[in-house]
C-alpha cells in the first residue's frame, strides 16, 4: 500500500514508477496507478541463501526485468530472499543508483523486534555475539545457555547443527546465520547511495552501524489521504457508564508484537470499568485459525469484540466512531501508520512509550504514552481516562494534521533527481 500510494503521488509530479516484486511465477498487472511486474523465485531456498545473498534465480529474473523495463533508479523497500542483496548487485551492475527504505526492524534485527531479550529497546548495533544470544533466547533457549553458546565459534556450531534434530538444529545454526545476515545488511547499505529512515530511532540504528551520515535520509511515512483533522467525530459524554462506555479501538495485525494481549490483560484487571474494545484485526498466517475462532465465539470479556478488518479507505471513517485508538505494541514500530490515521481521524491515541509511537505522540498532548508490555500501567491509564473524560476532548483539540504521502513523494522525487544526475555524470565519465 505504501509503495502503490508513493508511485501514484510521484506520477502526479511527473515521475513515473513501477513495482518489481518476487512471486511464485512471472506476471504483470496494475494496482491503482502502479504497474506491477512479478518475477519468479525458487521454490526451495537454503537457509544460508535466505540470510545471505538471496535467491539467485530471483536475482536473474530481476536483472532481466531491469534490462527490459530500463528504469533509471532502483528503490528497495525490503531486504529479503526475493528482494535481495543479489538483486541490488544486479541493479548496480546495470548502472542504476540504488537506495533503500528501512521500513521494519527485520532489516537488521534477526529477532525482528529490535527489543533486547524481547523486553528492552535495543540500540540496533549489529554485534554478532550479542545478537546471536538474543535470537537464541527468542527461540526458547534459556538466557544463560544462549549467552554461553554465543561465545562458541559460529562455524563450529553450524557444523554441529547438522547432527542435531528439531528445534536444537535451528538454534545451533543461528550464530552463523546471524553473522551472515549482518554481513549481508552491511553490504546492502554499502551498495546504496542513500538509506531512508522513516523515524528517528531507525536513523540512530544506521548511525550505530557506521552508515555514513551523508547516506542517511530521514523521511517519515505519510497518509494517502490526510483529510481534515477531527471532522465527523461523535460527542463525548460528561461521564462514561455502561450505556455509553469509553470506546477503544485497535487496528492492526493479530501478532504478538502488536501487544493486544497486554491490553486485554489490562482490561481483565479492571472489569468494573465501563469500557468497550473493538478489534479490527488482520490475521497473520499463524494467527488466522485463532482469529477465526475468537471472532465467531463469545470472548472471555464481553466488552471485547473481534471484528472483520476494514478497507484502508474506510479506516478514518471507522475510527471516528471511537474515543481513543489504542496502540499497545511491544516492539519498536517504525511508524506506525495507525497513529497517523488516528491523527487524521481526529482521535487521540493511547500508545506504548516505545519506538515510533513515542516519536509521534506527545504524552499528555495528543494522548497518553504507557509503559510497553505492562498490563498494570495500561489498567492505570484506563482508570484515569474513565474518571476524566475531558482529557479526550483536550487531546483531540491538540492533534496535529498528519503528514501526507504528497510530502513523502516530494522528498523522494528530489532524491531521485539528485541520484540519477550523479549516476549520469558518473557513467559519462566511465
- Residues 21-50: pLDDT tens digits? 999 999 999 988 889 999 999 978 788 889
The C-alpha cell that represents 181 in the structure block: 545476515
Residue 47 placed within a domain: yes
Contact 329, 352 (CB under 8 A): yes
- Nearest to 60, CA basis, from 87, 81, 85: 87
pLDDT at 215 over 60: yes
Residue 164 placed within a domain: no
Residue 138 placed within a domain: no
pLDDT at 297 over 90: no
Per-residue pLDDT at 296: 41
Same domain, 79 and 22: yes
Phi, psi of 30 (to 5 degrees): -120, 130
Contact 223, 341 (CB under 8 A): yes
Q: Any idea which residue has 473524560 for its cell?
A: 389
SS (H, E, C) 149-175: HHCCCHHHHHHHHCCCCHHHHHHHHHH
Per-residue pLDDT at 299: 55
Contact 268, 296 (CB under 8 A): no
Q: Residue 138 in 3-state DSSP?
A: helix
Same domain, 262 and 371: yes
Task: Quote the CA–CA distance of 421 and 72 in Å, as a whole number.
Answer: 10
Q: Is the peptide bond before 129 cis (omega within 30 degrees of 0)?
A: no
pLDDT at 286 over 80: no
In sign, the C-alpha dihedral spanning 82, 88, 90, 95 is: positive
* Domain assignment of residue 299, given as a range: 246-397
Measured from the Cβ of residue 377, the count of other Cβ atoms closer than 10 Å reads: 17
**Mean pLDDT (whole number) for 117-123:** 96
Share of the chain above pLDDT 70, in %: 95
Same domain, 364 and 263: yes
Residue 99 placed within a domain: yes
Residue 128 placed within a domain: no
CA distances from 157 to 109, 117, 135 (A): 20, 21, 15
Measured from the Cβ of residue 409, the count of other Cβ atoms closer than 10 Å reads: 22
Contact 39, 22 (CB under 8 A): yes
- Classify residue 185 by its DSSP letter: H
Same domain, 104 and 73: yes
Same domain, 355 and 268: yes
Measured from the Cβ of residue 289, the count of other Cβ atoms closer than 10 Å reads: 10
Same domain, 297 and 348: yes
- Confidence category of residue 295, pLDDT binned at 50, 70, 90: very low
Task: Quote the CA–CA distance of 18 and 33 in Å, as a whole number.
Answer: 9
- Nearest to 224, CA basis, from 314, 303, 347: 314
Contact 132, 154 (CB under 8 A): yes
- Classify residue 343 by its DSSP letter: H
Same domain, 185 and 255: no
Same domain, 11 and 71: yes
Domains identified in the chain, total number:
2
Task: Quote the CA–CA distance of 412 and 326 in Å, as a whole number.
Answer: 31
Q: Residue 339 in 3-state DSSP?
A: helix
pLDDT at 252 over 90: yes
Same domain, 99 and 184: yes
Residue 354 CB burial class (10 angstroms; 0-12, 13-18, ≥19): buried
Same domain, 292 and 413: no
182-194, pLDDT tens digit by residue? Answer: 999 999 999 999 9
In sign, the C-alpha dihedral spanning 64, 65, 66, 68 is: positive
- Confidence category of residue 292, pLDDT binned at 50, 70, 90: very low
- Nearest to 399, CA basis, from 310, 321, 311, 320: 320
Residue 160 placed within a domain: no
Residue 191 placed within a domain: yes
5-17, pLDDT tens digit by residue? Answer: 899 999 999 999 9
User: Cβ neighbours of residue 43 under 8 Å, at least 6 residues apart?
Assistant: 24
pLDDT at 128 over 70: yes
Same domain, 373 and 425: no
**Mean pLDDT (whole number) for 148-174:** 89
Whichever domain contains 355, its CATH number is 3.40.50.2000
Residue 305 placed within a domain: yes
Same domain, 30 and 55: yes
Amino acid at each position: 500500500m505504501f509503495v502503490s500510494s508513493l508511485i501514484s503521488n510521484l506520477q502526479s509530479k511527473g515521475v513515473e514508477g513501477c513495482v518489481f516484486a518476487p512471486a511464485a511465477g512471472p506476471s504483470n498487472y496494475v494496482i491503482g496507478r502502479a504497474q506491477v511486474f512479478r518475477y519468479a523465485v525458487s521454490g526451495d531456498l537454503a537457509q544460508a541463501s535466505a540470510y545471505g545473498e538471496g535467491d539467485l534465480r530471483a536475482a536473474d529474473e530481476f536483472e532481466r526485468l531491469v534490462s527490459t523495463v530500463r528504469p533509471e533508479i532502483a528503490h528497495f523497500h525490503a531486504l529479503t530472499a526475493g528482494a535481495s542483496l543479489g538483486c541490488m548487485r544486479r541493479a548496480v551492475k546495470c548502472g542504476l543508483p540504488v537506495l533503500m527504505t528501512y521500513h521494519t526492524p527485520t532489516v537488521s534485527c534477526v529477532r525482528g523486534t529490535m527489543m533486547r531479550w524481547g523486553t528492552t529497546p535495543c540500540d540496533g548495533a549489529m554485534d554478532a555475539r550479542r545478537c546471536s544470544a538474543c535470537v537464541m533466547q527468542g527461540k526458547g533457549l534459556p538466557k544463560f545457555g544462549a549467552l554461553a553458546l554465543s561465545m562458541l565459534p559460529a562455524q563450529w556450531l553450524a557444523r554441529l547443527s547438522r547432527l542435531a534434530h528439531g528445534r536444537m538444529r535451528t538454534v545451533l545454526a543461528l550464530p552463523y546465520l546471524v553473522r551472515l545476515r549482518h554481513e549481508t545488511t552491511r553490504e546492502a547499505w554499502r551498495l546504496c547511495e542513500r538509506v531512508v529512515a522513516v523515524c528517528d530511532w531507525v536513523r540512530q540504528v544506521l548511525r550505530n552501524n557506521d552508515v555514513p551520515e551523508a547516506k542517511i535520509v530521514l523521511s517519515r511515512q505519510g497518509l494517502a489521504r490526510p483529510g481534515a483533522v477531527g471532522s465527523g467525530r461523535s460527542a463525548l459524554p460528561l461521564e462514561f457508564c455502561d450505556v455509553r462506555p469509553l470506546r477503544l479501538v485497535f487496528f492492526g495485525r493479530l501478532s504478538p508484537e502488536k501487544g493486544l494481549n497486554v491490553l486485554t490483560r489490562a482490561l481483565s484487571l479492571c472489569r468494573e470499568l465501563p469500557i468497550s474494545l473493538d478489534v479490527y484485526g488482520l490475521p497473520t498466517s499463524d494467527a488466522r485459525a485463532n482469529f477465526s475462532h475468537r471472532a465467531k465465539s463469545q470472548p472471555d470479556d464481553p466488552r471485547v469484540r473481534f471484528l472483520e478488518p476494514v478497507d484502508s479507505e474506510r479506516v478514518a471513517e471507522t475510527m471516528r466512531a471511537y474515543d481513543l485508538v489504542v496502540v499497545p505494541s511491544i516492539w519498536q514500530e517504525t511508524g506506525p501508520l495507525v497513529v497517523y490515521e488516528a491523527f487524521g481521524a481526529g482521535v487521540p491515541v493511547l500508545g506504548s512509550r516505545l519506538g515510533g509511537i513515542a516519536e509521534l505522540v506527545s504524552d499528555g498532548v495528543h494522548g497518553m504514552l504507557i509503559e510497553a508490555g505492562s498490563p498494570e500501567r495500561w489498567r492505570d491509564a484506563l482508570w484515569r481516562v474513565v474518571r476524566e473524560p475531558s482529557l479526550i476532548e483536550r487531546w483531540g483539540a491538540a492533534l496535529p494534521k498528519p503528514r501526507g504521502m504528497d510530502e513523502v513523494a516530494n522528498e523522494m522525487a528530489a532524491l531521485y533527481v539528485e541520484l540519477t544526475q550523479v549516476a549520469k555524470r558518473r557513467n559519462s565519465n566511465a
